[in-house]
Each structure stands twice: as structure tokens, then as C-alpha cells.
Structure 1
Amino acid sequence: MLRNVQIIDHPLVHHKLSFLRDRSLPIVEFRAIVRELSVLLAYEATKELSLKEKRITLPDGTICVAKKLEDDTLCFMPILRAGNALLAGMLDFVPTASVGHIVVQRHHSTLEAQEYYFKAPDKLEKKLCIVLDPMLATGHSAIAAIHRIKKAGVKELIFACLVAAPEGVKALSEAHPDVRIITCSIDEGLDQKSYIVPGLGDAGDRFYGT
């Protein structure tokens, strides 16, 4: 396993993924489980955030020193539209984070990624940017999105996804070796249409009911 790749290898994660893989899972349950898993991804991705000490008053009136997050140090950057599926759970976990958006779509024939839209908060270069997409298949969209985000000056990046293919992990790691990849599973590989096997199907379509 590559050094920059982290798999959340936990019984409950495997359990919840088994439901997501089931094509008969109702859309309401699919959305709920995606949200639950995105919280776990956020937990793992934010383990190294810097903290500052602050004096607070306890319920009994005494003073103690507590640790709190540095102000405005985190940005979630979903790759639209599917990446937005992970955003709600991430914000449940870190509601103070800022949010940017990027639209990168792979061409169905060439599989090459094309950028259509990019909007980021101010001082992006000073933040940890967590790029969100449920699936890491060929890696083309992730590579293009991260390249664009780096152009905005970001130095610290993490890519978070539910399921990845070995081909996508390899491609992203080679293109951006400084970016940590966090995923719930690395599956068997890609089929002839570059869909992940066993995968989740089209996670965006399943999440949005399209």
C-alpha cells in the first residue's frame, strides 16, 4: 500500500458499505449511510488540524485552558455534483469549515476531465483543503480538480472518497504524490466502462435519484 493512502478498515464501515452496494437500497437509506460514512471520513481527515489554547470558564466557575481549532483553517471542496453528497456529513462534523466548489466532469468517450466551474473562499492558500468525491475511478477528475486547486495556492490537500479503484489510486498518487488519499475501500478494479468493481454503481445518480 502506498504511504499516502489510508483505508478506514473498520467493521462498521464494511457493514455500511454492504448496504450501499445493494442496488435495492432505497434512496433515503442510501443518502443516510453516505452521510454517516462522510462523518467518519471527516474524522480521519482532520486528525492533524492545529489547535490553540484558550481559557474558558467551567460550569462551576473555575477557569481552565482548553484546546480549540485555529480559526478558518479548513475548507471542504466537493467535486460537483457527486462530491456534494459527502458535504453535509462533513459539515455536521466541522460546521465552521468554509466550502468551495469545483465542477470537473469526465468525457464519457475519452474519459478525460474537463473543468467547468471553480469558486473558492478567500485565503484558500492558508487552509487545509479536503477534496470530496464519492468515487475514485480512473482518477482523471480528481487529478484535474487538485491541479486547479493547487493553482489557487493551496499547499495542504487531502482527497476523501467512499470507494476507490487501484487504478485511480495509482494515477492520483503519481500525479500528486503530496496529496493524502482517505477512503473506506479500495475495490477490485475498473470494468470496460471504467466503473469501479464492485463499486457502488453511479453514486451521484443514486444519491440524487437521476
Structure 2
Amino acid sequence: MKLHIAPRAPNPRRVQMFLAEKGVSVETVPVAINTQEHRSPEFVAKNPVSRVPVLELDDGRFLGETRAICTWFEGQHPEPNLMGVDAEERAFIEMHDRRAEFYCLLPIANWIRHCHPGLAPLEQPQFPEYGQSQAGKLPDLLRVFDVELASRSYWAGERFTIADITAFCAVEFARGLMKFRPSDLGLLHLQDWRDRINARPSAKAGM
């Protein structure tokens, strides 16, 4: 089994952090996305949409999409539980995980892909105005999460879950390329949450 990743990219990091929390070790294969390796015929044969991460299973199949890969590992290694112990908890964790992905990670990724010169090879054409508009919406979106974190310890409730992984990787992606710190916007609950998650050993995965 192999996990095809792009080092330091947020979505592969989500899977690597998930595996670290599970205590599961999987061989990783780096994919050089800056040199378009993810668009090579060899990689497209693994994932026709040219995205990482991709899990190469022992039976020769390839599983793409971050959450699908995490779901596979949750089934293979159910403890510690990160996605919900029953249908109700799974639904609420997925809701918060999707919100972290769509309203936190996605606008950050859009700003970086369209405004950062280092990402130009991956996003052609770049639309800087669109990227800036996404960045402009981010503070209001993050204030929503900051208010929620005032009343609970973790992103989806009172225990660590996959939603914390998604949100943390999003915030760290912004910290690295946008020089973003929640406290700079007065988001102290979000900053406290980020610092607590950063103290977990799994936070070093995928760096």
C-alpha cells in the first residue's frame, strides 16, 4: 500500500495527520506538483483528475479524495474513532468537517492559487481579483468559527475528530503562505484552538 502525496500540501497533510492519530504507518510517494508530475500519464492513470492524495491499495485499485481515503482507514482501523461512533455523531462531525473544508480551506486555497506567484504553474490562468475576493471573505467566515469555539473545546464538539484535522490544515496552510495568525484578527478562541491542536504529535505529520 502506498500513499501518493505532495509534501506540505494541505489535503495530503490531512490524510497524514489522520494516520498519525491512528498510529498507522503507510509508505508515502512524493509527487512533484510544481513540475506537473501529477499531470503525467503515469499519475493520470492512478487518478484521472490529477489530484493528490491518492491511496494505492494492495489489490491494484486507487482511491482518491481526502475524506474517502480517511473513511477507508477509519474502517480498517476504527480506534481511536475520528469520524463518529453512530449515525448521529457521524452526521454532525461530517457537517463540521465540510464547513471547515468549504468555508475555511477552500477560500484560503483559492487565494493562494490565484494570488501567490509560486502557485502560478498550478493555476493557469490565475485570477488575482478572484483570489483577493476570497481572502476578503475569510475574516467573516472565521469569526463564525471563533464564536463557536468559545462554547466548545474542539471543532465538532468536545473531542478531537477529523473536523479538527481539516480545519487545522487549512489554518496552517494560510499561516505558511498568507502569514495568517487568528490572533491578528482578534480571533482568540480560534488561536487557542489552533495552538492546542498544534501541540499534538500528529500536527507534525505532512510538514
Same fold by TM-score, threshold 0.5 exceeded?
no
Q: Say which structure is richer in strand.
A: 1
Structure ID, larger Rg:
1
Q: Which band: TM-score by shorter chain?
A: 0.3 to 0.5
Q: Say which structure is richer in helix.
A: 2
TM-score for both structures, normalised by structure 1: 0.34
TM-score for both structures, normalised by structure 2: 0.34
